[in-house]
Structure 1
Amino acid sequence: MTQRMGFCIGLKPEHIAEYKRLHAAVWPDILRQISASHIRNYTIFLREPENILFGYWEYEGEDFASDMAAMAADPMTQKWWDICMPCQAPLASRGPDEWWARLEEVFHLD
């Protein structure tokens, strides 16, 4: 069963160009890990001048927690996050175990 998931986070203004550059050429190992984690249709949008990132993906696996743990344990993903995370500004209202704040789906049309 496909689960649609949306997330948001702030983006530090001084890192916008770097973040765009990074995501224009995502490392192949990262793309492989995302796919291996059963994530499809992954998209990140940026809203300026508020500098809010909105991420959307569809999860098609059977054990989300396990797939996310495998992604977090991947050495290349850790290196990617080490570069990307300093660019981001987590929302104060995010959950205690969240970096990107998860959004509630309130409407969908296929």
Structure 2
Amino acid sequence: MVTGIKADKIGKYKVLHDSIWPGVVSKIQDCNIRNYSIYQKEIGGQYYLFSYFEYTGKDFKADMMKMAADSTTQLWWKETAPLQQPLPEAALKNETWTTMEEVFYLK
């Protein structure tokens, strides 16, 4: 997935993730997310976050709904969302992250 990040908020975003709340980590794991990484990259003067994770569950939509309903996760998103700059496609749907098409996978 991909989203933008406000240039002046990168430092705060990194600090938040250096000490991510245990309840957020627990809920991510409870929702069958493993090997979750977020990368930051500047491209053409704009800053972006790219995330990667492996989903090990059986019902992604249900697990994402469970995560979104979690009060601790909601508080976390209130901290992180103002730092991010959603791509237009996501902003139209009132979302932060945009999914990307996988074009290659090697196991």
State the TM-score, normalized to the length of structure 2.
0.91
- Looking at structure 2, the residues matched to 34 and 15 of structure 1 have their Cα atoms a distance apart, in angstroms, of 23
Once the two structures are superposed, residues 40-98 of structure 1 have per-residue CA deviations (whole angstroms, 9 ceiling, x without a partner) of: 00000000253110000111111111111110010000000000000000001337364
- Looking at structure 2, the residues matched to 75 and 98 of structure 1 have their Cα atoms a distance apart, in angstroms, of 18
**3-state SS in 2 of match to 1:105:** coil
The range that moved more, 68-77 or 89-98, is 89-98
Specify the code of the residue in structure 2 equivalent to 1:35.
Q
Relative to its length, the structure with more helix (as a share) is 2
- Looking at structure 2, the residues matched to 12 and 97 of structure 1 have their Cα atoms a distance apart, in angstroms, of 17
Counterpart of 1:69 (choices 65, 70, 81) is 65
- Looking at structure 1, the residues matched to 80 and 104 of structure 2 have their Cα atoms a distance apart, in angstroms, of 30
Identity %: 43
> Aligned residue for 1:109?
106
Are positions 1:96 and 2:93 aligned together?
yes
Are positions 1:25 and 2:41 aligned together?
no
Structure 1 consecutive aligned stretches of length 4 or more whose deviation exceeds 2 Å? 93-99
> Aligned residue for 2:80?
84
Specify the code of the residue in structure 2 equivalent to 1:109.
L
- Looking at structure 2, the residues matched to 56 and 13 of structure 1 have their Cα atoms a distance apart, in angstroms, of 21
- Looking at structure 2, the residues matched to 57 and 26 of structure 1 have their Cα atoms a distance apart, in angstroms, of 16
State the TM-score, normalized to the length of structure 1.
0.89
> Aligned residue for 1:34?
28
Matched residues, number: 104
| Unaligned 5+ runs, structure 1 | 1-6
Are positions 1:50 and 2:58 aligned together?
no
